[in-house]
Amino acid sequence: MSGINRIILFPHVPCRWMVITLDEAGKIAHGSFHYYYSNGNVQSTGNYVNNKKEGTWLGFYFDGSPHDSIVYVNGAVTGIKLSWHANGYLKDSVHTRPDGSAVAISWYNNGNPSAVSIFRDGKKNGRFRYFHKSGQLASEEVYNMDALVSKQYFDEGGTPMDTTNRDRMHSFPGGKNAWLKHASKKTYFPDQWQLVNTTQVTILVTGMIDEEGKVQNLYVSIPFHPVFDKIALRMVQESPKWLPAISHNRTVSTWFTQPVSFVQEH
């Protein structure tokens, strides 16, 4: 098995991989690895050893600000894992011990706590506490090796409430038809442009729906051309408030990717 250096460039997609591989087939990753956004900024960087992540891996937001720092030993997360919100506030701190147990603390982007969690062998074990963005307790749950033993929900005033599962993903108010109506009003095929060898292109816009349903941190993850990209980005940016995701009785921010298509009429 002979060592080779290989640079693989994927055109028309928002990433490039640079991996030094051990075998000629390029199947065993070994060496430095870089993942890029469509604007050329690094998304993540680190090293592989025999196809497993090793050492410190760093992640970044689209604008280049830090996103996370994770240490791997033989492919497993070890030590302290940190991540940050786009505004620079600490988001998550996870301390994984050699025996596989872990303590995780997370915060909202205003500095208030989001959750406190305890894990054993990768499973939920012990008392978990989740908070509303205001800092008030939202849910207190007890687990025994991933099995839910008990839970209690609280509204933002601290009053106990029904513990019926309210979890949901984010969604656009009015559903798919309402979204298509919004998109049709805001998306148009730019004048003086003509597609060759195709009549349709699709651009992907990535961003976040925050705890209030506002669209945040938008960027074009799979671009086509600046003129089209700008229209797609603005269409998503100008969308009304979404219904935010709910997890453990409190609204949470979630990432999404939205395809935006342009169809050329004959």
Tell me, what's the pLDDT at 99? Answer: 83
pLDDT (0 to 100) of residue 41: 94
Secondary structure, 3-state, the chain? CCCEEEEEECCCCCCEEEEEECCCCCCCECEEEEEECCCCCEEEEEEEECCEEEEEEEEECCCCCEEEEEEEECCEECEEEEEECCCCCEEEEEEECCCCCEEEEEECCCCCEEEEEEEECCEECEEEEEECCCCCEEEEEEEECCEEEEEEEECCCCCEECCCCCCECCECCCHHHHHHHHHHHHCCCCCCCCCCCCCEEEEEEEEEECCCCCEEEEEEEECCCHHHHHHHHHHHHCCCCCECEEECCEEECEEEEEEEEEECCC
22 to each of 1, 28, 191, 243, how far by Cα in Å?
Answer: 7, 6, 50, 47
192: left (phi over 0), alpha (psi -120 to 50) or beta: left
Q: Are 94 and 107 in contact (CB under 8 A)?
A: no
For residue 193, the model assigns a pLDDT of 87
Q: What is the pLDDT of residue 70?
A: 96
- pLDDT given at position 28: 82
> What is the predicted pLDDT for the residue at 171?
96
Q: What is the mean pLDDT of each run of 10 residues along the chain (266 residues)?
A: 34 44 70 91 94 95 96 92 96 90 95 95 94 97 96 96 94 95 94 87 96 96 94 96 97 96 86
**Predicted local confidence at residue 221, as pLDDT:** 95
Q: Which CATH class is domain 78-164?
A: alpha beta
| Alpha carbons 159 and 145: distance in angstroms, whole number | 29
pLDDT reported for residue 3: 42
In the structure encoding, which two tokens stand for residue 192, read together?
A: 């003086």
Q: Please give the pLDDT value at position 20.
A: 53
pLDDT at 10: 36
Rounded to whole angstroms, the Cα distance separating 226 from 237 reads 16
pLDDT of residue 191: 86
